[in-house]
């Protein structure tokens, strides 16, 4: 197993995707919307549930990730605007950690767009990753809700810094990245993805711009693909496949 850079937590990406890599039906439709989620799930064969359960158990047993990382795109669509957005420059917000819990649900929300309903329970605390550009009104709202944040980066969240600080300041050893293609793509371009568990389901979605599990910035003009080593693969009895890969070269 290739170790991550010293002191940074291992980042394990998990996803459930169509054969064409799509993870939802359209860019303007969130799986959290019950009618969208229902249509997505109705298209998946019955073997997915068991494969996902076994995959999750494997990741848990092997790495004990204490952070699940998502992007704001799982909660709001691209056109969502922060109600707290203000003109202005960068601010020196301090971090805010009003509570700890055995696990963290960490979400990148540098633009302060998500209106939170779930803020955690005894087992898991919501942690929002923000930056110096994040609207102060949003942070005031998080404070009211008892939700913590880490300030990492200036104009947007610096993911390398965020992952590193989760290790050094929260004692996190492994992060499970379970978000969409935007945050996953940014993690990969920053060379932060160590391992992937992809459950591929035998459906096609198509559509230019429909989120895949890895979007983000294109390769540099002289860039080369990130090489993977297959660690294992398990087939369900209805055509779904869980494949476990390890990154053998940095994803930058
Ligand atoms: N099938 C599945 O298992 C699955 C899982 C998760 C999501 N989904 C679906 O996927 C869709 C969401 O995917 P998405 O790609 O639109 O959203 P996303 O993955 O959440 O991507 C947007 C997030 O990435 C951050 N980001 C993007 N580039 C960055 C960079 N260079 N540096 C730092 N942060 C960066 C953004 O930060 P800011 O917020 O700070 O701008 C934002 O938080 C939704 O429809 C959701 O339902 C499906």
pTM of the predicted model, to two decimals?
A: 0.95
User: What is the Cα Rg of the chain in Å?
Assistant: 18
pLDDT tier at 89, thresholds 50, 70, 90: confident
Q: What are phi and psi of 137, to 5 degrees?
A: -65, -35
How many Å apart are CA 107 and CA 112, to the nearest integer? Answer: 11
Residue to mutate, 36, 183, 188, ligand 1, most ligand atoms under 8 Å from C-beta: 183
Determine the average pLDDT of the residues in 7-31.
96
Q: Whose CA is nearest to atom 19 of ligand 1?
A: 180
Instruction: Provide the mean pLDDT of the chain.
Output: 95
| Max CA distance (Å), the chain | 56
pLDDT at 88: 72
> Does the beta carbon of 111 lie inside 6 Å of ligand 1?
yes
pLDDT at 6 over 70: no
How many Å apart are CA 93 and CA 110, to the nearest integer? Answer: 12
| Residues 106-132: tens digit of each pLDDT | 999 999 999 999 999 999 999 999 999
pLDDT at 228 over 70: yes
Burial (0-12, 13-18, 19+ Cβ within 10 Å), 62: middle
| Residues 130-177: tens digit of each pLDDT | 999 999 999 999 999 999 999 999 999 999 999 999 999 999 999 999
Q: Whose CA is nearest to atom 24 of ligand 1?
A: 183
- Output 252 or 46, whichever has higher pLDDT: 46
pLDDT at 85: 80
Using a pLDDT cut of 70, give the percent of the chain over it.
96
How many Å apart are CA 205 and CA 212, to the nearest integer? Answer: 10
């Amino acid at each position: 197993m290739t170790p991550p850079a010293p002191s940074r937590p291992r980042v394990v990406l998990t996803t459930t995707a169509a054969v064409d890599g799509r993870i939802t039906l359209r860019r303007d439709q969130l799986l959290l919307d019950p009618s969208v989620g229902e249509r997505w799930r109705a298209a998946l064969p019955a073997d997915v549930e068991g494969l996902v359960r076994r995959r999750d158990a494997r990741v848990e047993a092997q790495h004990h990730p204490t952070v699940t990382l998502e992007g704001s795109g799982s909660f709001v669509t691209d056109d969502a605007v922060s109600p707290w957005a203000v003109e202005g420059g960068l601010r020196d917000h301090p971090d805010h950690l009003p509570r700890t819990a055995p696990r963290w649900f960490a979400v990148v929300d540098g633009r302060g767009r998500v209106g939170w309903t779930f803020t955690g329970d005894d087992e898991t605390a919501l942690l929002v990753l923000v930056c110096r550009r994040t609207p102060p009104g949003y942070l005031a709202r998080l404070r009211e809700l008892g939700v913590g944040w880490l300030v990492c980066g200036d104009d947007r969240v610096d993911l390398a810094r965020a992952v590193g600080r989760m290790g050094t300041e929260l004692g996190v050893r492994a992060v499970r990245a379970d978000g969409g293609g935007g945050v996953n793509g940014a993690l990969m371009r920053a060379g932060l993805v160590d391992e992937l568990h992809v459950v591929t389901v035998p459906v096609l979605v198509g559509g230019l711009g429909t989120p895949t599990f890895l979007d983000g910035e294109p390769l540099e003009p002289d860039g080369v693909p990130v090489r993977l080593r297959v660690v294992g693969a398990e087939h369900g009895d209805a055509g779904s496949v869980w494949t476990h890969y390890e990154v053998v070269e940095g994803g930058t």
